[in-house]
Amino acid sequence: MTDPSARLIDGKAFAASLRQSIATEVGRLKDRLGTVPGLAVLMVGDDPASDVYVRNKARQTAECGMKSVERRFAASLTETDLLEEIARLNDDPTIHGILVQLPLPAHINADRVIAAIRPDKDVDGFHPVNAGLLATGGKGLVPCTPLGCLLLLRDVLGDMTGLQAVVVGRSNIVGKPMAQLLLQESCTVTVAHSRTRDLPAICRQADILVAAVGRPAMIRGDWIKPGATVIDVGINRIAAEGGKTRLTGDVAFDEAARVAGAITPVPGGVGPMTIACLLRNTLTAFARINNQD
């Protein structure tokens, strides 16, 4: 790997600091209210990647002093049974955040499941009500990954007013909410994607470039405006030497790091922020439900 000239944005360190501040606030609220935020994570099936993610969520939730509840179900679980479990958690006063781990088995309608979660407990920020609140500037829960990207950008850039931002990717999970958050920061925002005409030229206009397209090293170094801040959301597993695999982002890191002003690595950039922001959302949900916001 060539020594980069860009500043490396250390998402791992930022996430650790965020979790510490969350733990401090949880302790303060426990002293005041005698209770703590509760997060319930539901997993259907035995996807190995999801299993690692769920275990990490549970561990970090407990480390922050919150109540952690895991519900694991066989892949044969019916959609009706899953919806009934969500209904129970919706009514449980000790649970303030509900997350259903995606992907779900093919026989379960993910949109129907997400819509069944109470919007004020939807700590993934995927419920149509929360999506609508974000789009209209309301007070909802924001998807964790774009929220983490925003916090990193604020840390690096401070005031983003008037900056040109390009988001490559249009998913409901990252691309669209990321664009809405950047609009709220008074950026001028372009949403591009894999079918955008002359995508390299669009990317070269960006003071802020967020890559969330899911294609390894798609964004090349000569697509980057000199001095731009690059946020790489991609987590792609590719073949490496010796029959092993390694993680890489959507940005050709070595090339981009020679041009950008600041850049997130993969791993160690955006990834650690996702769970930290899930905990932040759970704390936010708790505070709002208990009129402490």
| Token representation of residue 187 | 């950026």
171 and 267 in a single domain? The answer is yes
User: Which pLDDT score, from 0 to 100, does residue 149 have?
Assistant: 98
Rounded mean pLDDT, 36-50: 93
148 and 207 in a single domain? The answer is yes
Question: Does residue 104 fall inside a structural domain?
Answer: yes
Q: Tell me, what DSSP letter sits at residue 198?
A: T
Residue 1 has pLDDT above 80, yes or no: no
Instruction: Show the domain range for 209.
Output: 143-271
186 and 256 in a single domain? The answer is yes
150 and 267 in a single domain? The answer is yes
Residue 235 annotated as lining a ligand binding site? yes
User: Which pLDDT score, from 0 to 100, does residue 37 have?
Assistant: 98
Residue 202 annotated as lining a ligand binding site? no
When mean pLDDT is compared across 80-89, 237-246, 276-285, the lowest value belongs to 237-246
Question: Does residue 40 fall inside a structural domain?
Answer: yes
Rounded mean pLDDT, 23-33: 96
Residue 78 has pLDDT above 50, yes or no: yes
Residue 287 has pLDDT above 50, yes or no: yes
163 and 222 in a single domain? The answer is yes
Question: Does residue 135 fall inside a structural domain?
Answer: no
78 and 154 in a single domain? The answer is no
Burial bucket for residue 247 (CB in 10 Å: 0-12, 13-18, 19+): middle
Question: Does residue 45 fall inside a structural domain?
Answer: yes
Q: To the nearest whole percent, how much of the chain has pLDDT over 70?
A: 99
Residue 88 annotated as lining a ligand binding site? no
User: Which pLDDT score, from 0 to 100, does residue 2 have?
Assistant: 46
The CATH number of whichever domain residue 48 belongs to comes to: 3.40.50.10860
User: Which pLDDT score, from 0 to 100, does residue 4 have?
Assistant: 60
| Span 100-138, pLDDT tens digits | 999 999 999 999 999 999 999 999 999 999 999 999 999
User: Which pLDDT score, from 0 to 100, does residue 242 have?
Assistant: 80
The angle at the Cα of 167, spanning 195 to 115, to the nearest 5 degrees, equals 90
Choose, from 57, 67, 176, 225, the residue flagged as catalytic. Answer: 57
User: Which pLDDT score, from 0 to 100, does residue 247 have?
Assistant: 86
The CATH number of whichever domain residue 212 belongs to comes to: 3.40.50.720
- State how many domains the chain has: 2
Whether 57 is catalytic is yes
Residue 68 has pLDDT above 60, yes or no: yes
Question: Does residue 204 fall inside a structural domain?
Answer: yes
Q: Helical H runs in the chain?
A: 11-33, 48-63, 79-91, 110-116, 128-135, 144-157, 175-184, 199-203, 253-257, 271-289
Choose, from 67, 120, 122, 124, the residue flagged as catalytic. Answer: 124
Whether 60 is catalytic is no
- Phi, psi of 33, rounded to the nearest 5 degrees: -110, -15
163 and 219 in a single domain? The answer is yes
151 and 95 in a single domain? The answer is no
Whether 292 is catalytic is no
User: Which pLDDT score, from 0 to 100, does residue 49 have?
Assistant: 80
105 and 43 in a single domain? The answer is yes
Residue 225 has pLDDT above 90, yes or no: yes
Question: Does residue 227 fall inside a structural domain?
Answer: yes
pLDDT band at 3 (very low <50, low <70, confident <90, very high): low
Question: Does residue 281 fall inside a structural domain?
Answer: no
Q: To the nearest whole percent, how much of the chain has pLDDT over 90?
A: 89
**Residues in Cβ contact with 4 at an 8 Å cutoff, skipping those fewer than 6 apart:** 253, 254, 257, 258, 263
178 and 256 in a single domain? The answer is yes
168 and 248 in a single domain? The answer is yes
CA atoms lying within 13 Å on the CB side of residue 160 = 25
Question: Does residue 101 fall inside a structural domain?
Answer: yes
Q: Would strands 67-73 and 97-100 be described as parallel, antiparallel, or unpaired? A: unpaired
Q: What average pLDDT does the chain have?
A: 95
111 and 160 in a single domain? The answer is no
Choose, from 67, 101, 176, 232, the residue flagged as catalytic. Answer: 101
User: Which pLDDT score, from 0 to 100, does residue 238 have?
Assistant: 84
Q: pTM to 2 decimals?
A: 0.94
